[in-house]
Structure 1
Amino acid sequence: MTKENNGKAARRRTVKKLLIVSMCALSLTLAFLSFRGTNRFDNDKNRPMQFGLPMNGHMPRRLGGSGHRQSRYHRPSQRRRTGKVSEPFDESGMDPHAVAVRFREDLLQQMESKDEIALLEDVLEARMHLVQIVGIEEEVVRSPKNSYHGVYGRFCRLNFAVHKENPSSVPMFRDIVGNSDCLDPFEMDLKKVAYLARERDRQGQENNNQQVPKLLNFTAAAFHESRCGSTLVANSMIAMDPEKHRTYSESAPPFSAMREICGQTFEYCSETQAAKILQDVIYLMSRTDDPKEERVFFKFQSTTSQFISVFQMAFPNVPWMYVYRDPVQVMMSHVNDDPQLKRAICTKSRISGRHPKAIRDIAHRHGYADSRELEPSQYCAAHLATLTESAVNNLNDMAIPVNYDLLPNILWEKIIPRILGRPLTQREIDNMEAVSHDYSKGRGQRAGEFKGDSEQKAHAASKAVKEAADEFLKPSFDQLNEFKPKLLQ
């Protein structure tokens, strides 16, 4: 009996040891994977930083997947781990052909198989599309003065057909990505591949018989205040002529180029360098292997309104719309999502405690010693004012403010005919009018006919919302209303 009990005790000790060993092994594995996932580090603290898409301090997620699968291309995180920081290269003043040869050799040296070499050719032939960009701080801060360095693009084949067929059910760029084979995007140096793409297109222009790849005409862009009808504008652009048009609605790469790579206060690189990154991003996203496509439109995220100056520097001759709405109605769209304004987009930074400088400045202008003194409704209005005031400050000859109350008719009656320099066909008008009857973000069960809600929003607004809207938003709203666009004269 004693021997049997001792045997059981021994077995229990053995099982316990095995469990301890297993837990240790699991902990080491998780630590290793976490280290592999780190993309950038703060100079002062060993913690992940946001760069590229904002991902709550973690490595930017690879769109369409978990972000943990092995990429088919060398990732910046691998270079970061090995300590091999890429050296900057200033191509200004060099022979273009020599630069192209060097850039191609640089990219090929990082490739390990014929499949990877084929992927480069797919990008240059516009068979693969840019879906995300990320930057490596150690490389970006060492950028040449007249160029940039350390920015990497991620590519996959996008299924634009789903957007062309039904814009209202696939309204956003992330929806297109989700309907594409983007689980395993591959990565390469953005500046180098953009340079080679331009060289490929130049050669194609010299060959008059070559139809694709080709560069689409960047016809117009749209900035917006949020919750103001901007998605309807984007849907109208693609619905007008789906075969000939491509529209990017809140796509990731331009957002990162304008707002993230160089930093929100340009602490990593200059505004001029941000504009150069944006030029390369838009160039790559405007190339096509579809001979029927002719034009491309971009609708950017609302917070890029704070960086309209970067867009203007990159594309001074491209018309841009600014979609806005009655201040109370816009605020009520945020309040309806979160009546206490604790999790609303417009108060997100208030809850986090990291108040952006733009909001602090607005609070000071309105007589508050600190933005922390603002009530939730005031903070929401101040956030929205950072967007509308930026639009007002950047109004120029290419600007077209678009009041929500004038949508959708103003698009086919005035704006698009003036931008294109011709009257629209009846088919184009019918297509735009048809999509305007659908709820612009009608995914799944939300699909259906659009119903106006302006009167309901105004009636339901609290005194606090009305006062905040009047204090912080009314001045810029009036200025946008009063502006006379030169393009529409």
Structure 2
Amino acid sequence: MTPDLEGWMPARIHVDGGQPRVDWCHMGGQRFTDPFFDETIERRLRHPFALLFRHQTSMNALVARQAKKPGLPVRGLVFHMSRCGSTLVAQLLAALPRHIVLSEAGPVDTVLRAHQYVPGVTDTQRIEWLRAVVGALGQQRHPEEHAVFLKLDAWHVLELPLLQRAFPGVPWMFLYRDPVEVMASHQNHRGAHMLPGLLNPAHLGLEPGQIEGMPLDEYGARVLAAICDAGLQGYRARTAPARLMDYRQLQPEGLRVLTELFALELTAEDTPRLRDVLERNAKNPVLPFEDDTEEKARRVTSHGRALAEQWGRPIHDALETERLRGDVVP
């Protein structure tokens, strides 16, 4: 018998015996306001009830629940290159209580990569599972909530066509940054996608054998280039309102772009909330915002700079060309 899941959210999806299983966490009234989804889940699990009482169901049970309770509509998708300001975008959207913002949610990533470890899964199944996960995470738990926004992991732009099939017509944006600065950030602390094993080599235009023995910085530069190229090609072939945004736009123009693209209707109460977010470090809101552009340019190694220029610069420049054309709608 499927348990009563009112107030519960899918916190984690794992594979058991070749089939996905859903671990649920009781969220109560906890909103997703932390920079990342997992931080909110970890904070919730400090509560005795959420820690001691758990539910686990099949994916079929999650899909059946979505048919009865589909959740709030998805109003925007945020794709990004990584280390380029997307967390600030998510925090701006989450500052408005009427939004549910799912920032790099683990269950979403698991479903998008299900074809890598669930035998025989089809794109149709992944779309069904994705809608079910987002529908469960996007349940209205506060009267003012009326929309869901997904801030995806950097590598999810490689699945842009599938995400557009799952959420047709939903506006989206792709954020990027000078590839030298992004390379500097990853040289200091590499993201999971910058290490071989997470991504299918075919998504990067590589054969499995090509990765063996490839230096990490070269692999990372090629990953960043593939991510940016997916964003560029998706923008050129867009079938929904879309925007490209460079990191340098965020402070002066980010709020205007978000308002236009996602049709946000701001109130007088929203202005101080959003101004406060812009003044703080998005990943560590207790600290003030500081522009680290010059620091990153100094910190990158000469080899890392050369690789970023070789693999990333041509696509970065192409993204800039498209952005400066100023198109908003297809």
Q: Same fold (TM over 0.5)?
A: yes
Distance 1:251 1:459 in 2: 33
Does structure 1 residue 228 correspond to structure 2 residue 92? no
Q: Check whether the contact 1:162–1:179 (CA below 8 A) recurs between aligned residues.
A: no
Alpha-carbon shift at residue 200 of structure 1 (Å): 5.2
Distance 1:436 1:358 in 2: 38
Alignment CA distance shift 1:129-1:423 (3 Å): closer
Corresponding letter in the other structure for 2:299: A
Larger Rg: 1
Corresponding letter in the other structure for 2:21: Y
Query: In the alignment, which of 38, 51, 57 is matched to residue 174 of structure 1?
Result: 38
Q: Check whether the contact 1:227–1:330 (CA below 8 A) recurs between aligned residues.
A: yes
1:15 aligns with: none
**SS of aligned partner of 2:82:** coil
Does structure 1 residue 438 correspond to structure 2 residue 307? no
Corresponding letter in the other structure for 2:307: A
1:487 aligns with: 328
Query: In the alignment, which of 121, 129, 140 is matched to residue 269 of structure 1?
Result: 121
Distance 2:156 2:199 in 1: 17
Query: In the alignment, which of 233, 243, 259 is matched to residue 393 of structure 1?
Result: 233
2:180 aligns with: 328
Alpha-carbon shift at residue 296 of structure 1 (Å): 1.5
Alpha-carbon shift at residue 159 of structure 1 (Å): 5.4
Does structure 1 residue 384 correspond to structure 2 residue 224? yes
Alpha-carbon shift at residue 314 of structure 1 (Å): 0.6
Alpha-carbon shift at residue 257 of structure 1 (Å): 0.9
Does structure 1 residue 256 correspond to structure 2 residue 110? yes
2:251 aligns with: 408
Alpha-carbon shift at residue 426 of structure 1 (Å): 3.9
Deviations 1:366-393 (A, max 9, x none): xxx9344644322220121221122223
Q: Check whether the contact 1:275–1:314 (CA below 8 A) recurs between aligned residues.
A: yes
Deviations 1:170-218 (A, max 9, x none): 32111111121443431112333432443356xxxxxxxxxxxxx3231
Q: Check whether the contact 2:22–2:58 (CA below 8 A) recurs between aligned residues.
A: yes
Give me the CA root mean square deviation: 2.9
TM-score (norm 2): 0.85
Deviations 1:314-340 (A, max 9, x none): 112111221111100100111233xxx
Which deviates the most, 391-400 or 244-253?
A: 391-400
Corresponding letter in the other structure for 1:397: T
Corresponding letter in the other structure for 1:376: L
1:306 aligns with: 158
Does structure 1 residue 192 correspond to structure 2 residue 34? no
Q: Check whether the contact 2:171–2:261 (CA below 8 A) recurs between aligned residues.
A: no
2:205 aligns with: 361
Runs of 4 or more above 6 Å deviation: none
Q: Check whether the contact 2:243–2:261 (CA below 8 A) recurs between aligned residues.
A: no
Deviations 1:97-120 (A, max 9, x none): xxxxxxxxxxx2xxxxxxxx6xx3
Query: In the alignment, which of 259, 269, 274 is matched to residue 427 of structure 1?
Result: 269
TM-score (norm 1): 0.59
Deviations 1:213-257 (A, max 9, x none): xx3231111121111111111100011x22x22211111111111
Query: In the alignment, which of 128, 146, 151 is matched to residue 8 of structure 2?
Result: 128
Alpha-carbon shift at residue 290 of structure 1 (Å): 2.2
Corresponding letter in the other structure for 1:133: I
Corresponding letter in the other structure for 1:304: H
2:171 aligns with: 319
Distance 1:336 1:425 in 2: 40
Q: Check whether the contact 2:180–2:308 (CA below 8 A) recurs between aligned residues.
A: yes
Alignment CA distance shift 1:386-1:277 (3 Å): same
1:460 aligns with: 299
